[in-house]
Structure 1
Amino acid sequence: MTDPILVWGAGAIGGTLGAHWARAGHDVLLVDTVADHVEACRTTGLSIFGPVAEFTQVVPAVTPAELTGTFSRIVLAVKAQATRDALPMLAPHLSPGGFVLSAQNGLNEIEIAEAVGAERTMGCFVNFGADWHGPGRILYGNRGALVVGEIDGTIRDRTRAMFDLARGFEPDAVLTTDVWAYLWGKMAYGAMLFATALNHDSMTENFADPARMPAWLALGREVTATAIARGVTPRGFGGFDPMAFAPGRAEADGIRIVEWLRDYTAVGAKTHSGIWRDLAVRKRKTEAASQLNIVPKLAAQLGIATPALSAVGRLIADIEDGRREQSPATFRALLDALP
């Protein structure tokens, strides 16, 4: 493959990956809808800062309207809610034998496969901490797991090639034949991160409060039960084992995982989730409607009740629409919704 790696979405995930790949000598082209960010990346450079890495890298970048040509590798790194709009724009730029790799949070591979075909879709589990802080500036807060795999469970030359790129960014990256297990495992963690954004406490403060433990346990159980019912055994990262929330497991098993999350989120420069930043700082809609709310829909098809997940989705929407504030009272509404 000699054409550039096209990174569609140069924010927290895409910008961090693209800057590192460009610095390593790979041919990278960023695509982003924020014109000021595009201009900064291609002129003064994209600055990666924080405890993991500090550097500025000029990276070729364009807006979607400026993009021409076709590409064999498109790394889709937009927010989940932007996937639907991005796909018809990028599809004409995907070469006949090319593929789209989803470097996103959630289960976006389902939607991508419906748009461009399962054969042209590759999965990726991303869990490093990063935040977009403005045009040309991204905080790389902490290293995290990075897993690459085909959605059909095979391993091909293209899979190994993308794995090599992933390992160039994260030396501990993993090549897997079961990427869905990682994606569903991340959903269990992600559901909890959405809940931490209901108030202004840090992720660590949220996980450390014993009074909030019922919420974390309920969210983990609902996601894991849905995954298992769909034939997937969720896998985690680090000390996060989503199977601790599986049906029949002791409550103490789940509590230990939440305690691990308390300690895990206490390390690194990123104190709050990107979801919290969307609500509190950027004042924009989160990924809840596109990322989180898919699980209750899938669960309903299987007869699984999801009161905790459904409540988080409703409460996030209330905050987005100005009906509620991020506050202890809003988190209390989540606890009140539990059986």
Structure 2
Amino acid sequence: MRMAIMGTGSLGTIIAALTTRGGYPIDCIDANVEHVKALNAGGARVVGLMDLVQPVRALTPGEMVGEYDLILYLAKTTDNESALPVIVKHLKRDGAVVCMQNGIPEDAVADVVGRFRTIGCIVGWGATYLEPGVSRLTSAPEKMEYVMGELDGQDTSRLHEIAKVLSAAGAAKTTTNLIGIRWNKLMSNTGFSGMSAVVAGTYGDVLDQPKALACAQHIFREALAICRAAGVVIEPRGGFDNRDFDFHTEKERVEKIPLYLKKMEPHRNIRTGMLYDIEAGRKPEYEAFNGTITRWGKKWKVPTPVNDQVVDIVRGMWEGRLKIDPKNLGLMELPPLPSE
């Protein structure tokens, strides 16, 4: 099986290193020429919570030849316009694209490559791109997991074949409820990646600041309300059922804090990629994160005031109206709750 990663950034560098080491060589495709050169010259280097250097094969999109059976799609959603036409050109007729992007991205990919050739997959760990050829693992290695599913909810043989490959880079599972697992992941992304951008820090900075954590909790609450309205059955993951994180009073919110801490503590070193994007002059993925919540909220007539504020703040940083500054937390206003 001929395989490639399209968008070999922070996550892709680590996945490529681990799958290649595990006996599944995979081409590393990336538009960053310096990164491609470094990967070819010195291998994929993983630091942080893992120490590994693994020789890999890397190339730019323009250097791709032939067709692939499997493409792991890790480019940012903001790069779809340039990346998807390349995938279509180099994907076999019976090949598959494993969409590992943020948000709920499968429809946009399927519109270009076809629904049958699209598989959804959530990545349950984090990493930071440091420099060409080097990525820092910021989640505990034992927490690295993938959950993938077909768009029609079928349990197919190809899912298990792909899971076998990804098992070299973490725990790989399959699901018949892709949208439910997507919403599980989206809540963590919007609650903690979104607030990581607001506080200009890590998930740990969100956990350690009472107001920031309260904002993250309200983001979960808004997402849960949307799922109820839309009929989405949230899939438990990692030993947690996100429906248990809901609250209706201030007392309940405070009582649920230990649950949030238990869920997110293993990921406290993650710093949202949106901050790195802004610093590098790239558009951040706020539309894929909290923007998804606001769009679904409008569709299902569910108010999303906290998510709306996060979108406004991150957009403001991208447009230059706001600085990347922990003081942006002061701009957030929490909706009132009954005390008991």
The normalised TM-score by structure 1 is: 0.89
Deviation at 1:205, TM superposition (A): 2.8
Amino acid at match of 1:335: E
Match of 1:164 in 2: 164
Match of 2:198 in 1: 198
- Which is worse superposed, 74-83 or 233-242? 233-242
Match of 2:121 in 1: 124
- CA distance, structure 2, for counterparts of residue 328 and residue 35 of structure 1: 33
> Number of matched residues?
333
- Pick closer, same or farther for the CA change 1:121–1:211 going to 2, 3 Å: same
- CA distance, structure 2, for counterparts of residue 294 and residue 227 of structure 1: 12
3-state SS, counterpart of residue 95 of structure 1:
strand
Instruction: Decide whether the 8 Å contact of 2:196 with 2:206 is kept in 1.
Output: yes
Deviation at 1:65, TM superposition (A): 0.9
Match of 1:30 in 2: 28
Deviation at 1:180, TM superposition (A): 1.4
- CA distance, structure 1, for counterparts of residue 163 and residue 229 of structure 2: 29
3-state SS, counterpart of residue 118 of structure 1:
coil
Any stretches of 5+ residues in structure 2 without a counterpart?
none
Instruction: Decide whether the 8 Å contact of 2:70 with 2:96 is kept in 1.
Output: yes
- CA distance, structure 1, for counterparts of residue 185 and residue 318 of structure 2: 23
- CA distance, structure 2, for counterparts of residue 256 and residue 287 of structure 1: 32
Deviation at 1:294, TM superposition (A): 2.5
Amino acid at match of 1:73: L
Match of 2:209 in 1: 209
Match of 1:335 in 2: 333
Match of 1:184 in 2: 183
3-state SS, counterpart of residue 173 of structure 1:
strand
Amino acid at match of 2:318: E
Instruction: Decide whether the 8 Å contact of 1:245 with 1:253 is kept in 2.
Output: no
- Pick closer, same or farther for the CA change 1:228–1:269 going to 2, 3 Å: closer
Per-residue CA deviations over 1:30-55 (Å, capped at 9, x if unaligned) read 1100001111112221111122x312
Match of 1:285 in 2: 283
Amino acid at match of 1:325: K
3-state SS, counterpart of residue 309 of structure 1:
helix
Deviation at 1:330, TM superposition (A): 1.6
CA RMSD of aligned residues (A): 2.4
Amino acid at match of 2:296: L
- CA distance, structure 1, for counterparts of residue 119 and residue 3 of structure 2: 14
Give runs of aligned pairs for residues 1-339 of structure 1, distance below 5 A.
2=1, 4-51=2-49, 53-142=50-139, 143=141, 144=143, 145-170=145-170, 172-192=171-191, 193-238=193-238, 240-246=240-246, 255=254, 258-262=257-261, 265-267=264-266, 270-279=269-278, 281-335=279-333
Deviation at 1:133, TM superposition (A): 0.7
- Pick closer, same or farther for the CA change 1:188–1:271 going to 2, 3 Å: closer
- Pick closer, same or farther for the CA change 1:253–1:151 going to 2, 3 Å: farther
- CA distance, structure 2, for counterparts of residue 322 and residue 337 of structure 1: 27
Any stretches of 5+ residues in structure 1 without a counterpart?
none
- CA distance, structure 2, for counterparts of residue 273 and residue 217 of structure 1: 17
- Pick closer, same or farther for the CA change 1:127–1:257 going to 2, 3 Å: farther
Deviation at 1:282, TM superposition (A): 3.4
